Structure 1
Amino acid sequence: MKLIYQHMLSFLLIILTTVSIIGFSEINNVTKQSYAHNYQRMEDFASALGTLAASEEKNGSAMLNPKFLHRLQFVLHSDKVYFSVFNTRGKQIYPKRNNKIKLSDKHFAQVKRGKKLHIKNNNEIISQLGHTKDTCTGVLLPWRDQGKFIGAIWLGVRVSTVERPIRSAKQNLFSALVTALIVGLILSFILSFYATNRIKNLSQATQKVAAGDFDVQANYSGNDEITQLADNFNQMVRALKKSNQEVKAQEKRRDQFMADAAHEMRTPLTTINGILEGLQYDAIPDKAKPKSIALMSRETKRLIRLVNENLDYEKIRNNQIDLIKTKFNARKVLDDVTMQLKHNAAKANDKIIISVPIDLPIYADRDRFTQIMVNLIQNAIQFTTDGRIEITGYRAAHATIISVKDNGIGMSHEQLKYIFERYFKADPSRTRSGKGEYGLGLSIVSSLIKQHGGKIHVQSKSNQGALFTIILFDKGYEQYLDN
């Protein structure tokens, strides 16, 4: 069943239940009041008849006088009131019938003691008054004269007369029920349509998101649950859009990496294959063979470096390396790295300047620290031409801080968001031979520093160079973060 019909059915059931409870309560109240009013009216008639009989003849003999009773019957008939008179033995003496009715001993004893009996339906109480063609309701009262019991009188009217207001109340209830159902049907449709239409719009928005449209927003006002659901939906869509953008960016960088890797692998493989074919068919002169073999060796190392960088990154990212952290002098490592990369810097006409104390204690894995600095300095060389690369370092409270600053091409604000992600290159067109050219160097640096419990920051603007700052804490002060 559709939700709109479920809502309509719920509203209608509530309306029907409410109207029924109120209606039946009102009918029950009207019924009680109608019968109570009738009993009081009959008792008033009986009291008036007793007074009239006392004034008619002495000793109350008029009460049992047929002529007097005929006159009473004539007067009461105009009010559609019927009565019967019983003598001191409980036998009916008026009106006279062939089969005289006698009150039961139980009920006659109650009347004789002065109790007033209310009879709702004489056809339901056979022992008291017997069946009549038209059911009657009334009271059975003792008749006394100067305190002496001389008989009993029954006064009543037809049940149909008493229940006329009840039938009217039932008709009004039925009319109210029909009206309430019609109005309730219209209102429930309007309310249900409003509620389900908002949910329907959310469902359509969800389908659009499933189809890849992340610009959908559900704009609802109010403070109900559907509005809160719409707000959560909007937050989810924004998160999915951001995630989708990041995935696309990752895919783009991966595709770029695959293209670069394919290009980088094709060149050395072609070179190696050409040299091997030349050696196989003696197409290379003996004098040129050492040079060809050296070229083949360099190209092989180039391929190995590409594979190793990927394997190294995967191990670091999955915490598959064990750090052997010790306290050592960072200056010595920086001097070694500078000597190692001096040749690469010279090719770009770059100068490497070290502004680090002779003794700079640091707590880290020496080999991995070396790897970090090689990647950072190589990254600076890669994107700087005819410039300066300055390495600074100093001690802080329970930490060692080292910075690598260059005045190269720098990075935009958008590029800074992805600088530590795998395969990202700030400027692929400036790739040079050497470590870091495949977009893995800074990813490796970031992962290693996190595993050390340290921090890394980068500041850069386009064409204004870049500043990388790493913080490695002393033993016991590391700040580990979830990856």
Structure 2
Amino acid sequence: MKKISIKIGLLFFCLIFTMEVCLFFLLHQKIAHSRIDEQLSALVTRGNNHRDVLETYYNEETIHHIALMEVKSDTEVVITNEEGKVIISSAKINHQIQSLLNLKTKNLPRNGKVIEDNWKSGPYIATIAPFETGVDKGYVYMFQDTSQLKQLIKQLNRHFLIAGIATAFVTAIIILILSRIITRPLIKMKEATKKLSQGNFSIQLESKSNDELGELVESIQLLANELNHLKTERNEFLASISHELRTPLTYIKGYSEVAKRDHLGLEERLSYLNVITEETTKMTTLVTELMQLAQLDNNTFTIQKEFFSVCESLKKISQRLLPTFKQAGIKLLTVCPENIHIHADPVRFEQIVVNLLENARNYSPEGTSTTIEVAKKDAEIKISIHDQGKGIPSNDVPFIFERFYRVDKSRSRELGGTGLGLSIVKELVDAHHWEIEVSSKTNKGTTFTIIARGEL
């Protein structure tokens, strides 16, 4: 993950450094041109001042005084007449100065103008200002050595270079810190996903940010929790299957060995064979329910919905289960208005009701009653199955739809349940897009309520 930190840091550095270089270049050009323009403007102004002095006090002494003033300065002055003949010069006239003096001087503005501004390659920058007196006409040329300007720009470049290096260094440090801060949650998430890939789902990620990274952290944490829950369920599921299959197989093997003994009487042998038959039936039921759950998990089963009468379906179910309820000493009652129809899969609907009724019968004592009650309100149908059994403790209610979960584990073999009936009910209810609610009080009974909306 350090690679992504380096990549992000380099990317930000390149972008910011490019912006800084562009800004520094524009700023440098602006300052450099501003300084050159100031020098040219000052040179024009100086020439105009000399012109004004000449026009006011034009004599030989004034001319020499102007030249003497420029001897001690960083500029040079050359005064010529109208024909271009040099009247006086503060410096020796060389080839470069002479070439500028030979330039055409017609139609010059009163305030003068710049006649040479190429400070990069030329030896001088120069200006010209015309003057006119009652005695003579001429021109005041001002020259400034470009070496000073070049030195000024060189010094400016040096300052900008130092500022640029310092800025790049500070920028690199800031980006390094920021990239570490940005990639820190990514590094944690990478380590977390690595643990997930290795089967370690017990990870804890925390994020205080409300941005996309925070949402990603929450998603990974949710995924880890779900995987951890699935892993726990899988282990418990496999352990439960192993236990549920091992127990009847142990009974079958043991009683088979006993039943093969020669000295056993017919009645005793039949009792052992009956046990073997019962255990085989339990195994068959378990395998059948496991296959049903596998189909539900893989969505390989289909829901074929049709409209049918709820009451007629419940009456058929009650008649089929009534003998087993009578054998257990439990009354089975049905309260259902005749005009209620539901849109559902009749086979799956029967499977849901049968599982709930068998659950009520298994956990209800003799002398109690189980009631099926149907109610309709607007576009909602409620089918409630209420028993007067031992009830479900409140701390067990949230888990009763989990596979192989039993409230009373000590009586699991006596009651004959597999712990899969309610799981199948929940899966089938969800497949119909219905809801199922549970309310229970210990030693007073349990009520399962199926809520079907929009199924009229």
Q: Residues 85 and 151 of structure 1 are in contact (CA less than 8 Å); yes or no, is this contact kept in structure 2? A: no
What CA distance in whole angstroms lies between the structure 2 residues aligned with 1:385 and 1:450? 30
What CA distance in whole angstroms lies between the structure 2 residues aligned with 1:461 and 1:248? 32
Aligned to 2:198: none
What CA distance in whole angstroms lies between the structure 1 residues aligned with 2:115 and 2:139? 13
Aligned to 2:438: 458
Pick the aligned partner of 1:197 from 167, 181, 200.
181
Q: 1:89–1:472: structure 2 CA closer, same or farther, 3 Å change rule? A: closer
Aligned to 1:429: 410
Aligned to 2:289: 309
Pick the aligned partner of 2:392 from 411, 415, 420.
411
Pick the aligned partner of 1:40 from 45, 59, 75.
45
What CA distance in whole angstroms lies between the structure 2 residues aligned with 1:9 and 1:97? 52
Question: 1:25 and 2:30 equivalent?
Answer: yes
Q: Residues 411 and 426 of structure 1 are in contact (CA less than 8 Å); yes or no, is this contact kept in structure 2? A: yes
Q: C-alpha deviations, 1:34-79, integer Å up to 9, x for none?
A: 11111121122123123322xx4xxxxx6xxxx9866654454344
Where structure 2 has 5 or more consecutive residues not aligned to the other structure, the ranges are 196-200
Q: C-alpha deviations, 1:77-96, integer Å up to 9, x for none?
A: 34465444555544557679
User: What displacement does 1:266 show?
Assistant: 1.0
Pick the aligned partner of 1:354 from 318, 333, 336.
333
What CA distance in whole angstroms lies between the structure 2 residues aligned with 1:116 and 1:256? 104
Q: Residues 337 and 375 of structure 2 are in contact (CA less than 8 Å); yes or no, is this contact kept in structure 1? A: no
Aligned to 1:218: 207
What CA distance in whole angstroms lies between the structure 1 residues aligned with 2:455 and 2:34? 82
What CA distance in whole angstroms lies between the structure 1 residues aligned with 2:137 and 2:99? 12
Q: C-alpha deviations, 1:159-205, integer Å up to 9, x for none?
A: 24873xx7446535633652464366346524641552353255235
What CA distance in whole angstroms lies between the structure 2 residues aligned with 1:241 and 1:122? 72
What CA distance in whole angstroms lies between the structure 2 residues aligned with 1:310 and 1:8? 60
Aligned to 1:236: 219
Q: 1:174–1:71: structure 2 CA closer, same or farther, 3 Å change rule? A: closer
What CA distance in whole angstroms lies between the structure 2 residues aligned with 1:303 and 1:260? 11
Question: 1:120 and 2:109 equivalent?
Answer: no
Q: 1:469–1:85: structure 2 CA closer, same or farther, 3 Å change rule? A: closer
Paired letter, 1:405: H
Question: 1:336 and 2:319 equivalent?
Answer: yes
Q: 1:245–1:186: structure 2 CA closer, same or farther, 3 Å change rule? A: same
Pairs aligned (count): 438
Among the aligned pairs, what percent are the same residue?
18
Pick the aligned partner of 1:253 from 210, 231, 236.
236
User: What displacement does 1:32 show?
Assistant: 0.2
Q: What does residue range 15-164 of structure 1 map to in structure 2 within 5 Å? A: 15-53=20-58, 56=59, 73-74=67-68, 76-79=70-73, 82-86=76-80, 89-90=83-84, 92=86, 107-110=104-107, 116-120=112-116, 135-146=123-134, 152-160=138-146, 163=149
- TM normalised by structure 1 equals 0.72
Q: Which has the larger radius of gyration?
A: 1
User: What displacement does 1:101 show?
Assistant: 5.9
Q: Residues 336 and 375 of structure 2 are in contact (CA less than 8 Å); yes or no, is this contact kept in structure 1? A: no
What CA distance in whole angstroms lies between the structure 2 residues aligned with 1:167 and 1:352? 112
What CA distance in whole angstroms lies between the structure 2 residues aligned with 1:23 and 1:97? 34
Q: 1:448–1:439: structure 2 CA closer, same or farther, 3 Å change rule? A: same
Aligned to 1:478: 455
Paired letter, 2:401: F
Q: Residues 254 and 423 of structure 1 are in contact (CA less than 8 Å); yes or no, is this contact kept in structure 2? A: yes
User: What displacement does 1:468 show?
Assistant: 0.8
User: What displacement does 1:107 show?
Assistant: 0.8
Aligned to 2:158: 174
Q: 1:245–1:174: structure 2 CA closer, same or farther, 3 Å change rule? A: same
Q: Residues 12 and 181 of structure 1 are in contact (CA less than 8 Å); yes or no, is this contact kept in structure 2? A: no
What CA distance in whole angstroms lies between the structure 2 residues aligned with 1:330 and 1:454? 18
What CA distance in whole angstroms lies between the structure 1 residues aligned with 2:82 and 2:443? 129
Q: C-alpha deviations, 1:303-334, integer Å up to 9, x for none?
A: 32222222233345525245474325245235
Aligned to 1:59: none
What CA distance in whole angstroms lies between the structure 1 residues aligned with 2:408 and 2:427? 22
What CA distance in whole angstroms lies between the structure 1 residues aligned with 2:43 and 2:130? 18
Paired letter, 1:219: K
User: What displacement does 1:452 show?
Assistant: 4.6
Q: C-alpha deviations, 1:273-317, integer Å up to 9, x for none?
A: 537866xxx777677776666555444433322222222333455
Pick the aligned partner of 2:371 from 391, 416, 426.
391
Aligned to 1:376: 356
What CA distance in whole angstroms lies between the structure 2 residues aligned with 1:452 and 1:80? 99
What CA distance in whole angstroms lies between the structure 2 residues aligned with 1:216 and 1:119? 73
- TM normalised by structure 2 equals 0.76
What CA distance in whole angstroms lies between the structure 2 residues aligned with 1:429 and 1:185? 73
Pick the aligned partner of 1:262 from 245, 261, 271.
245
What CA distance in whole angstroms lies between the structure 2 residues aligned with 1:204 and 1:42? 73
